[in-house]
Amino acid sequence: MTLMMPTLVSTVTFLHYPLKCLKDPNQLIRASALRVLSSIRVPIIVPIMMLAIKEASADLSPYVRKNAAHAIQKLYSLDPEQKEMLIEVIEKLLKDKSTLVAGSVVMAFEEVCPDRIDLIHKNYRKLCNLLVDVEEWGQVVIIHMLTRYARTQFVSPWKEGDVLEEFNEKDFYETDEEQKEKDQKVKKPYAMDPDHRLLIRNTKPLLQSRNAAVVMAVAQLYWHLAPKSEAGIVSKSLVRLLRSNREVQYIVLQNIATMSIQRKGMFEPYLKSFYVRSTDPTMIKTSKLEILTNLANEANISTLLREFQTYVKSQDKQFAAATIQAIGRCATNISEVTDTCLNGLVCLLSNRDEIVVAESVVVIKKLLQTQPAHHSEIIKHMGKLLDTITVPVARASILWLIGEYCERVPKIAPDVLRKMAQSFTSEDDLVKLQILNLGAKLYLTNSKQTKLLTQYILNLGKYDQSYDIRDRTRFIRQLIVPNEKSGALSKYAKKIFLAQKPAPLLESPFKDRDRFQLGTLSHTLNTKATGYLELSNWPEEAPDPSVRNVEVIELGKEQLVTLGKVKKEKSTEKFYSESEEEESASTTDTESESTSESEKEKNGKEESSSMENTESSSSEELSESESDSKESTAKKRFKTIEESDSDNMEKKKKVISKKNKSFDSSDAESSSTEETSSDSKSESDSESDTESKKPKIAAATKRKEMAVQEKKAPTKQEVSLLDLDDFNPVSTPVAVPTPAILSPSLVADLEGLSVSKSSVIDVSTPVFVPMKTHELLHRMSGKGLAAHYHFSRQPCIYGDQMVSVQVTLTNTTDQKLENIHIGEKKLPTGMKMHVFNPIEFLEPEESITVSMGIDFCDSTQTASFQLCTKEDHFSVNIQPPVGELLLPVTMAEKDFKTEQGMLTGMNETSATITVAPQNSTRLVILEKVVKAANLGLVPSGQDNIHRFAAKTVHSGSLMLVTVELKEGSTAQLIINTEKTVIGSILLRELKPVLSQG
């Protein structure tokens, strides 16, 4: 719509129409009129445009406002003097809550005033929350802008041991005051700013976008902002983009190449996806090769070299040459294969293709330089090649090699010089220079044989056409041939020519690309493009985070005055996309969290007024505790306990004690029952007033929660359960429940609960914790050190995919055993193990229980490792019973059936068994089954059918067990799971459990 109006008159006549249309009732017409108006690139109408933009930015229709945002950029490029006024409009539009506007206004912001970071503060959370709903082009722009923003506002998450810090147990218990004190200390543990986390979490679903630009934008955001441990999730999506057309492949491969230099591990599992096809364009081939080289390590080098062998033979000679370079790089990086590579390259020297031979020579030269000691044979071989090879670079390289190591090949070197002297005049400049070099070196070491030859060459060089060569000749002559004019330097000629030269480093050409933000044009071109905005380094100290929470502070104030009502309105207003059902859940979550976080900040700030603050919120809790939903949550949590009558009471105590523990420490407030029940729920509740009570806990456990949350439906009740899970790790010695102090009212409350309905699958607390211990190390074979282990059936604190194992170590000797730790581990591939901290000493007759986490990868393979003391080490192994590879889940009967319906056919194993008569009652069956395997109960409508559900620890696949009692004391045992192997083992183990007495 770039219209060039020649005269003012015609402009004004023309203007009449769009100006009239700006008031049209139809929004499409209004928007189009604005587009037309703003596209007239005549400076004289700037004031009119300004007015029109201002008006349109307040239009009721978001479509018109979107066009206003576009018009801002146009006006700015027409007349940059309007900047200040335009920034005002941008500020106004940034506050807009429409997803339609967000992308366009951020684009305008980037164009007009990218340095006005302060405009973003108040809109940061909104933008994060809207992001999923914004159209794809807007998403890209917003993500890039937020990446820059985050780098200025948050502290680096890349400090060492950051993962552990977040799980620091102390954080769970600390009160606010303590935390504050701690913050003031110099060394404080890293806790991710909740806003930082918000951004990282809200961008994650976008990895699934169909738009490659969006996926790449998220990938670069994770690369630049996320903790190193989390950045790995983007690799899968990036590899997916490689299926796209060649342009997309090219850009993505470049970015992967940069990433793979720094963090090999991210792409190692996808090594094979980078294998080259003969039909790929050359640029794709070389990028893939680059990545393969970056990923090479001791483990995969042999496969890679085999693959490289095919590439070397490729018809695409440019690519073959690149492959040889790659082999050279692998050889220098991985010392184990240097010799193999060198031999391979020497074989290539007899290749028919000249480019290949030349490239091999160059690479061999570089390799020999790194370890010249024992390769005189290769040098001799290369000397012979001079007769056949014609590529100048290769000839020059050979000559250099012979000169450099002339002492190792004393017989050949003078002969080579003789030959070269003959052909000197017809050589390339590059080769001539090296001939001169060789002559000089030989003159210095073996002047008897080569004096005349060298002088002959120097004479030839003196009259060469190239001044470069004439210069070099003069320089060398002065330096090596002693005459009266030669200065002091000639004494050192030998040192100058035959000095030890450092070996060249074979480096990736992508080495320095990481100075540019990934995914940008500058990164692709490897030069700074116009308008590139530098990504700033992380600040040492985070700037005041409270700048982002305007709305919430208002909310907080209102809270003090009017309770409940106002907030509700607020929240609906805020969650813009609540109408979209899929969205609402997530938005609610995040929103409530951010609210809570900010309240934390507020707490910290208004320390003096904290008393009244807490008072107000506790009073609110009282009023709110009546809400049914809350109760049902609590009910749900104890549902499982109720059903397992056997150890009902004990269980309950345990849970409560856990809760009390966490709660007591979280705040010194009186713990009324209502509070306790609402406490754990608060995360999910959009009115997160209770949150202010334990914001610290929320912050500390957030990451963990995230991990769990992502796997399951983020429905309200469920989150509360997760909260409970979060506290589990704290009370690790679960097997020995501490007696709880519980208020009588709570008991009454719990007793009255009935089973509630829900449609989600949750991880629940185990129904039964086996006391059975297995022997790890007998005291006889352990020279007095005895070790036993049992499975605690708790979610492991060291990782989601690990099974937690409690190991009890006992010293049966009469001396102190010192430094007990785990030595060498022999684990099957994929298996991981988190060891316990070394125990300094163990007094005689004393025992200690430590916990470990083992990721069994859902297999019953044995984890072998060494248990070491100061003097000895004993090989021990743990083989998990299949029942311990599970985590119990609860679900409604309905869901159970649907899930089961999906896991039929191959995924179903069943058996008919004869049930021992004493085993036919409900209670006994329950007890026996849960004793054998860590399964959760599923309520059943029929008396003769019992259902249990669990998920595997490593992969989270569902494991559904059904026991159906039939007539004549038989029973049908059905297991539905995707993990058919585990399923069949479990079936085998459950059979005797039910059939025997």
Partner 1 sequence: MIHSLFLVNCSGDIFLEKHWKRVVSQSVCDYFFEAQEKAADVENVPPVISTPHHYLISIYREKIFFVSVIQTEVPPLFVIEFLHRVADTFQDYFGECSETAIKDNVVIVYELLEEMLDNGFPLATESNILKELIKPPTILRSVVNSITGSSNMGDTLPTGQLSNIPWRRAGVKYTNNEAYFDVIEEIDAIIDKSGSTVFAEIQGVIDSCIKLSGMPDLSLSFMNPRLLDDVSFHPCIRFKRWESERVLSFIPPDGNFRLISYRVSSQNLVAIPVYVKHTISFKENNTSGRFDVTIGPKQNMGKTVEAVIVTVHMPKAVLNMNLTSTQGSYTFDPVIKVLTWDVGKITPQKLPNLKGTVNLQSGASKPEENPSLNIQFKIQQLAISGLKVNRLDMYGEKYKPFKGVKYITKAGKFQVRT
Q: Which of residues 957-986 bind partner 1 (CB under 8 A)?
A: 957, 978
Which of 84, 115, 247, 484 is close enough to bind partner 1 by CB under 8 A? 247
Nearest residue (CB) to partner 1, 379 versus 761? 761
Question: Which backbone phi and psi does 70 adopt, to 5 degrees?
Answer: -65, -40
DSSP letter string, 852-901: EEEE-TTS---EEEEEE-SS-EEEEEE---GGGGEEEEE--HHHHHHHHH
| Length of the chain (residues) | 997
Tell me: does residue 236 bind partner 1 (CB under 8 A). Answer: yes
Nearest residue (CB) to partner 1, 13 versus 26? 26
Q: Which 3 state secondary structure label does DSSP give 190?
A: coil
- DSSP run (H or E) holding 165: helix 162-166
For residue 949, list its beta bridge partners.
936, 960
Across the beta sheet with 774-777, the strand order is: 774-777, 785-795, 803-811, 847-855, 832-834
What lies within 8 Å, CB to CB, of 864 at 6+ separation is 825, 826, 827, 875, 876, 877
Segment contacting partner 1 (CB under 8 A): 222-230, 237-245, 737-745, 920-928?
237-245
Segment contacting partner 1 (CB under 8 A): 43-51, 397-405, 577-585, 668-676?
577-585
What lies within 8 Å, CB to CB, of 625 at 6+ separation is 674, 675, 677, 678
Which of 104, 29, 33, 122 shows the shortest CA–CA distance to 65?
104
Tell me: does residue 277 bind partner 1 (CB under 8 A). Answer: yes
Strand 847-855 and strand 832-834: pairing? antiparallel
Which of 115, 582, 628, 871 is close enough to bind partner 1 by CB under 8 A? 582
Q: Which of residues 32-51 bind partner 1 (CB under 8 A)?
A: 35, 38-39, 41
Which of 313, 491, 515, 988 is close enough to bind partner 1 by CB under 8 A? 313
Nearest residue (CB) to partner 1, 213 versus 975? 213
Tell me: does residue 273 bind partner 1 (CB under 8 A). Answer: yes
Segment contacting partner 1 (CB under 8 A): 31-39, 178-186, 679-687, 766-774?
31-39
Which of 513, 567, 693, 712 is close enough to bind partner 1 by CB under 8 A? 712
How far is Cα 757 from Cα 741, in angstroms, rounded to an integer?
A: 30
Nearest residue (CB) to partner 1, 315 versus 500? 315
How far is Cα 587 from Cα 200, in angstroms, rounded to an integer?
A: 14
Segment contacting partner 1 (CB under 8 A): 26-34, 337-345, 542-550, 920-928?
26-34
Tell me: does residue 1 bind partner 1 (CB under 8 A). Answer: yes
Segment contacting partner 1 (CB under 8 A): 71-79, 539-547, 557-565, 649-657?
71-79
Which of 28, 44, 560, 649 is close enough to bind partner 1 by CB under 8 A? 28
Q: Which of residues 127-146 bind partner 1 (CB under 8 A)?
A: 132-133, 135-137, 140, 144
Tell me: does residue 897 bind partner 1 (CB under 8 A). Answer: no
Q: What is the DSSP letter of 978?
A: S
Question: Which backbone phi and psi does 443 adopt, to 5 degrees?
Answer: -60, -40
Q: Which amino acid is at 422?
A: Q
Q: Which of residues 212-231 bind partner 1 (CB under 8 A)?
A: 212-213, 215-217
Tell me: does residue 283 bind partner 1 (CB under 8 A). Answer: yes
Tell me: does residue 504 bind partner 1 (CB under 8 A). Answer: no
> In angstroms, what CA-CA distances link 168 with 162, 191, 366, 405, 699?
10, 10, 50, 59, 12
Nearest residue (CB) to partner 1, 553 versus 713? 713
Q: CB of residue 72 vs partner 1: minimum separation in angstroms?
A: 10
How far is Cα 531 from Cα 159, in angstroms, rounded to an integer?
A: 31
Q: CB of residue 651 vs partner 1: minimum separation in angstroms?
A: 28
Tell me: does residue 347 bind partner 1 (CB under 8 A). Answer: no
Tell me: does residue 593 bind partner 1 (CB under 8 A). Answer: no
Tell me: does residue 178 bind partner 1 (CB under 8 A). Answer: no
Sketch the per residue contact string, 529 through 548, with partner 1: x for CB under 8 A, - otherwise.
Answer: xxxxx---------------
How far is Cα 959 from Cα 953, in angstroms, rounded to an integer?
A: 11
Which residue shows structure tokens 């983020």?
714
Which of 10, 13, 26, 572 is close enough to bind partner 1 by CB under 8 A? 26
CB-based contact 139:206 (threshold 8 Å): yes
Q: CB of residue 585 vs partner 1: minimum separation in angstroms?
A: 6
What lies within 8 Å, CB to CB, of 144 at 6+ separation is 110, 217, 220, 517, 519, 520
Could you give the residue ranges of the DSSP H alpha helices within 733-822? 744-751
Q: CB of residue 214 vs partner 1: minimum separation in angstroms?
A: 8
How far is Cα 668 from Cα 670, in angstroms, rounded to an integer?
A: 6
Q: CB of residue 898 vs partner 1: minimum separation in angstroms?
A: 9
Which of 156, 211, 340, 614 is close enough to bind partner 1 by CB under 8 A? 211
Tell me: does residue 292 bind partner 1 (CB under 8 A). Answer: no
Tell me: does residue 79 bind partner 1 (CB under 8 A). Answer: no
Tell me: does residue 713 bind partner 1 (CB under 8 A). Answer: yes
DSSP letter string, 555-602: HHHHHHHS-SHHHHHHHHHH-TTTTSHHHHHHHHHHHHHHHHHHHHHH
Q: Which of residues 453-482 bind partner 1 (CB under 8 A)?
A: none
Q: Which of residues 731-760 bind partner 1 (CB under 8 A)?
A: 760
Q: CB of residue 972 vs partner 1: minimum separation in angstroms?
A: 23
Nearest residue (CB) to partner 1, 100 versus 889? 100
Which of 809, 774, 766 shows the shortest CA–CA distance to 790?
774
Q: Which of residues 855-894 bind partner 1 (CB under 8 A)?
A: none
Tokens linked to 779: 């005291």
How far is Cα 664 from Cα 175, in angstroms, rounded to an integer?
A: 9
Q: Which of residues 714-733 bind partner 1 (CB under 8 A)?
A: 714-715
Tell me: does residue 100 bind partner 1 (CB under 8 A). Answer: yes
Q: Which of residues 614-673 bind partner 1 (CB under 8 A)?
A: none
Tell me: does residue 245 bind partner 1 (CB under 8 A). Answer: yes
How far is Cα 619 from Cα 940, in angstroms, rounded to an integer?
A: 40
For residue 230, list its beta bridge partners.
none
Segment contacting partner 1 (CB under 8 A): 87-95, 307-315, 657-665, 780-788?
307-315
Q: CB of residue 132 vs partner 1: minimum separation in angstroms?
A: 7
Which of 57, 129, 203, 237 is close enough to bind partner 1 by CB under 8 A? 237
Which of 63, 158, 173, 456 is close enough to bind partner 1 by CB under 8 A? 63
Question: Exposed (0-12), middle (13-18) or buried (19+): which is 904, by Cβ within 10 Å?
Answer: exposed
Which of 20, 23, 95, 246 is close enough to bind partner 1 by CB under 8 A? 246
CB-based contact 336:302 (threshold 8 Å): no
Q: CB of residue 643 vs partner 1: minimum separation in angstroms?
A: 25
Tell me, by CB under 8 A, how many residues bind partner 1: 96
Which residue shows structure tokens 């990736």?
508
Q: CB of residue 270 vs partner 1: minimum separation in angstroms?
A: 8
Nearest residue (CB) to partner 1, 216 versus 809? 216
Question: Exposed (0-12), middle (13-18) or buried (19+): which is 448, by Cβ within 10 Å?
Answer: exposed
Which of 48-79 are b and which e, b meaning 16 or more Cβ less than 10 Å from the residue's Cβ? bbbebbeebbebebbebbbbbbbbbbbbbebe
C-alpha count within 13 angstroms, C-beta hemisphere, residue 450: 32
Tell me: does residue 524 bind partner 1 (CB under 8 A). Answer: yes
Sketch the per residue contact string, 663 through 702, with partner 1: x for CB under 8 A, - otherwise.
Answer: ----------------------------------------
Q: Which of residues 389-448 bind partner 1 (CB under 8 A)?
A: none
Segment contacting partner 1 (CB under 8 A): 201-209, 496-504, 821-829, 946-954?
201-209
